[in-house]
Amino acid sequence: MGHLQLPPGKKIAVNLGTDFDAQSLWLGGFNRPTQSFMSRGQFGAEVGVPRLLELYSRFDITTTWFTPGHSVDTFPEQCRKVVEAGHEIGHHGYYHEIPPGIERDTERRLVDLAFATYKNVLGLRPTGYRSPYWDYSEPDSSTSSRSRAFSTTRA
């Protein structure tokens, strides 16, 4: 295990990550596709994203926005602004699905669908992944679609 090298004069480090889940959280994990929940996701995209971009810009902070493919397809302009501001896009599933609740083939299809969306809409391929729900579908992750998708894409 390595040690964190801080810049001279600095005593702490903070890692900020942003989940741009928008409506996918309510569709994929919570299965609440009602008007009320969808409006929460829309508010996050249309009001929350500009506010966070302004805040990060004010303090000269760049971070990783873990963004499901559904958010990219639904709110492409907001996602382009995130990228244009210099932030990284991280893979975060397609529908913010719950990995232990889906079959391996479905998980693989959704990982690939999100990759296609990132490429088609934003012209990039994320190298980082944050599991929706911080959980995994298989006890042996060496054979999982996540491992296959991310362990060979660092170049």
Chain residues that interact with Zn ion, rule: CB under 5 A: 19, 21
Q: How far is the CB of 133 from Zn ion (least distance, A)?
A: 8
- Closer residue to Zn ion in complex, CB, 8/71: 71
Tell the smallest beta-carbon distance from residue 154 to Zn ion (Å): 23
What backbone torsions phi and psi does residue 105 show, to the nearest 5 degrees? -65, -35
Separation CA 20–CA 67 (nearest Å): 5
Closest CB to Zn ion among residues 51, 143:
51
> Least Å distance between CB 12 and Zn ion?
25
Q: SS3 of 144, please?
A: coil
Report, in Å, the least distance between residue 153 CB and Zn ion.
21
Helices (H) and strands (E) counted in the chain, each on its own, are 7, 3
> For the purposes of burial, counting CB atoms within 10 Å of the CB of 142, is it exposed (0-12), middle (13-18) or buried (19 or more)?
exposed
Taking CB positions, which residue lies at the least distance from Zn ion? 19
What's at 100, amino acid-wise? P
For Zn ion, the closer of residues 28 and 53 by Cβ is 28
Indicate the residue among 137 and 140 with the shorter CB distance to Zn ion: 137
Work out the burial of residue 48: count CB atoms within 10 Å of its CB; fewer than 13 is exposed, 13-18 middle, 19 or more buried.
middle
